Amino acid sequence: MNLSQLHVLIVGGATGGAATALLLARAGARVTLLEKVAQPRAVGAGIALAENGLAVLESVGLGPAIAAHGRAVGIPAIVDARGRRLLAPPQPTPQVRMFRRSALQGLLLDALAAEPRIERHFGAEVLTAERDGRLTARVDGRSVEHRADLIVGADGVHSRVRASGNFGAHVHAPGIPYLRALVDVDAAQGVEAWTGAGIFGSFAVEGGTYFFASAGARACRRAIEQRDLPSLRAVWARTYPPSIPLLAAVRSFDDLILNRVLRVECRQWVDGRLVLLGDAAHAMAPNLGQGANSALVDAAVLLDELRRAPDLAAGLDQYQQRRRPAVAHVARTSANLGALAELTNPLARWLRDRLLLPLASRLGGDRTSRVMQETTATLLAIGRA
């Protein structure tokens, strides 16, 4: 179809929404972007981009900036508390780069500002979205009406677009929460450790270290409930000594970001002129690091299928047929991996580490392609076409 005749309204200006806006605008569409956050640059801690997500961003001209601001992750292995390898990454090992989320968002915002076919509205809270392409948002305390040929819901796990349409959505009960932080010390281990208290991972970012820790163990939950940073440090110091310099660099409890994992599954991603993308369609556990990357792949595939299709309805149908099975596999695998990682019973962990994980490594097969979902060459070609 001729995208130059298409007006697309994108709700959500984070990674997936921004990439969708750039891809569609550069393919000729007129794009209006609505973002609820008035000043989104400083939101979040760290973010990992894998080979698939990196390819999408490279395809829209961000390759040099990505290389300058991202820190390469060598071999992102899973280890135990003593540093013994439990699970090696799939072969061939995909490229991974770690970023400060604010730095990545800044790159995307600058690219949006430089694109003349994108009209941006920050501080715009979506109230309702209709399947006929009408949308109402609140801006500066007043309601504003919009109409578009297509409305893309890239507005996250609590999506207003999803809530407005008929997508057959199921939001699973909250899972184990995670603590995340950025610290200005060079103490990254470059691995994810599965310990008796849960997961602890640390990776280098520009100017410091990004670390994350699961908070499902009883002692961790108690320390969080009481906002007791010394007790939290003590729990992890006993369980995983490499955590000591990282938690010591946290100045106050308010420097920690607490996220509770939600999983979203939708029976369909399309309702009339409404379509979902990223966490709005398929929020998942973080254990494969494919949340943001899958949103970027969504953006590229949406463009690809719209461009191939004879009309809008056909393009949207092909988009969800191509994406839903691929993402469902990744989400299930992430959830299963997360359940294994959070085992704290000593016997269960021994069985996992000595029997289950070695067997999984031997029987893994071609896991890389299924996790990446689309080939790098395909994703690069979509954005560069």
SS3 49: strand
- Say if residue 192's pLDDT is above 90: yes
| Burial grade of 304 (CB within 10 A; 0-12, 13-18, 19 or more) | buried
- How far apart are the C-alpha atoms of 367 and 87, rounded to whole Å? 13
Q: For helices 51-59 and 291-308, give the axis angle rounded to 10 degrees.
A: 50
Q: Tell which residue, 191, 183, 192, 175, has the closest CA to residue 229.
A: 183
- Say if residue 366's pLDDT is above 80: no
Q: How confident is the model at residue 368 (pLDDT cuts 50, 70, 90)?
A: confident
Q: Tell which residue, 98, 38, 72, 89, has the closest CA to residue 292.
A: 98
Q: 57-80 pLDDT, tens per residue?
A: 999 999 999 999 999 998 778 899
Q: What percent of the chain is predicted at pLDDT more than 90?
A: 77
| Burial grade of 319 (CB within 10 A; 0-12, 13-18, 19 or more) | buried
* pLDDT for residue 38: 86
Average pLDDT of the chain, as a whole number: 92
User: What would the mean pLDDT of 132-152 be, rounded to a whole number?
Assistant: 96
- How far apart are the C-alpha atoms of 101 and 107, rounded to whole Å? 10
Q: Tell which residue, 5, 113, 79, 47, has the closest CA to residue 292.
A: 47
**Greater model confidence, 86 or 117:** 117
Q: What percent of the chain is predicted at pLDDT more than 70?
A: 96
The structure tokens listed for 308 are 């191939």
Q: Tell which residue, 12, 66, 10, 68, has the closest CA to residue 43.
A: 12
Q: 224-280 pLDDT, tens per residue?
A: 999 999 999 999 999 999 999 999 999 999 999 998 889 999 999 999 999 999 999
* pLDDT for residue 321: 98
Q: For helices 312-341 and 291-308, give the axis angle rounded to 10 degrees.
A: 160
Domains along the sequence of the chain with CATH: 3-44+101-174+263-342+367-384 (3.50.50.60), 177-260 (3.30.9.10)
- Say if residue 362's pLDDT is above 70: no
- Say if residue 365's pLDDT is above 70: no
* pLDDT for residue 220: 92
Q: How confident is the model at residue 369 (pLDDT cuts 50, 70, 90)?
A: confident
* pLDDT for residue 360: 65
